[in-house]
Amino acid sequence: MEKIALITDSASDISVELLKENNIKLLPFKVIYSEGEYEDRTEITPKMMYERLSTEIPKTSLPSIEKIHTTLKNVVDEGYTHAIIITISKAFSGTYNAVRLVCQEFSDLETFIFDSKTLTMAQGAMVLETANLIKEGKSFREICKILPTFREKIDLFFTLDTLEYLQKGGRIGKVAGTIGNLLNVKPIITVADDGTYRTAAKVRGSKQAVSKMTNIFKGYLEKHKYKAWILDGYGEDKVEALYKEIKDLPNVVECTLAGTIGPALGVNTGPGLVGLAIEKVD
């Protein structure tokens, strides 16, 4: 009889509580300071990282090979026969390839490694939907067929106070690296189908950024019902403003304050992020 394990990396930004509630195994990124390294979310909290950014910008690293191996070994020891592993976009991290290599060592565990081609709660939404499929008793084969369809239903938008941290991390992609510092212009950034960043819009000022994201979402809501997650990267009043703007819109079936962007992602975006992950509901 099949017993299916669900594994994701910490870029999914799923809270520790939700991980436990849905029996999701975590592969934490590493957050590396001059005095030592910490496992994302389990050993360092978002608050700890954001408060230290003014004195040191840490480096980040994908989950270690050792951690991936230990997690898979524990899965086998717990009697799981299959594992579904959902990772951050390959464009942002080598996690997918690292997991793929380690999985080759476990011939007695059938695995499906899925590149979410996104990150934060857009990735997290795919993981949580997969957890629901497991709870419903869907077979491994059924889930492997359904999972890719989630990518077509989920989108992500966010804006930043500054592009400085994305530039330093080398993850700016095709988002123009200068516009954010000129005349208070703020880009609305999305993740394209190939799993890389794109500029969805440009506005002037933080209030206009919130309004623009709201209007973008309204365009989606004209055609379908949606779930929404508000993403908080120490975005302060912008987060609450976006929540108030969208929570009661027609065709919004669920709107959640998703909590704070985790340390590994927050290092690359800096403080002042507000974002919106949306999922079409059939």
In this structure, the answer to whether residues 98 and 183 fall within a common structural domain is no
Name residue, tokens 């870029």: 11
In this structure, the answer to whether residues 14 and 144 fall within a common structural domain is yes
In this structure, the answer to whether residues 145 and 214 fall within a common structural domain is no
Domain final residue pick, 150, 185, 212: 150
For the segment 235-247, what is each residue's pLDDT rounded down to a tens digit?
Answer: 878 999 999 999 9
Q: Compute the distance between CA of residue 172 and CA of residue 177 in angstroms, rounded to an integer.
A: 7
Domain final residue pick, 150, 167, 198: 150
What pLDDT sits at residue 180? 46
Contacts of 66 (CB under 8 A, 6+ apart): none
In this structure, the answer to whether residues 34 and 138 fall within a common structural domain is yes
In this structure, the answer to whether residues 241 and 184 fall within a common structural domain is yes
Q: State the chain's mean pLDDT as an integer.
A: 92
In this structure, the answer to whether residues 61 and 105 fall within a common structural domain is yes
Per-residue confidence band for 1, with pLDDT thresholds at 50, 70 and 90: confident
Check whether 23 has a pLDDT greater than 90.
yes
- pLDDT (mean) for 80-106: 97
Residue 135 maps to which CATH number?
3.40.50.10170
What pLDDT sits at residue 166? 75
Residue 237 maps to which CATH number?
3.30.1180.10
What pLDDT sits at residue 170? 59
In this structure, the answer to whether residues 225 and 239 fall within a common structural domain is yes
Query: What's this model's pTM, rounded to 2 decimal places?
Result: 0.93
| Tokens at 258, concatenated | 């998703």
Domain final residue pick, 150, 172, 196: 150
Contacts of 96 (CB under 8 A, 6+ apart): 87, 88, 90, 113, 115
Q: What residue type is 156 in one-letter code? A: L
DSSP 8-state assignment for residue 63: P
In this structure, the answer to whether residues 37 and 137 fall within a common structural domain is yes
> Which structural domain range is residue 215 located in?
154-281
In this structure, the answer to whether residues 267 and 129 fall within a common structural domain is no
In this structure, the answer to whether residues 21 and 117 fall within a common structural domain is yes
- pLDDT (mean) for 181-190: 78
Domain count, the chain: 2
What pLDDT sits at residue 162? 79
In this structure, the answer to whether residues 130 and 198 fall within a common structural domain is no
In this structure, the answer to whether residues 134 and 162 fall within a common structural domain is no
Per-residue confidence band for 178, with pLDDT thresholds at 50, 70 and 90: very low
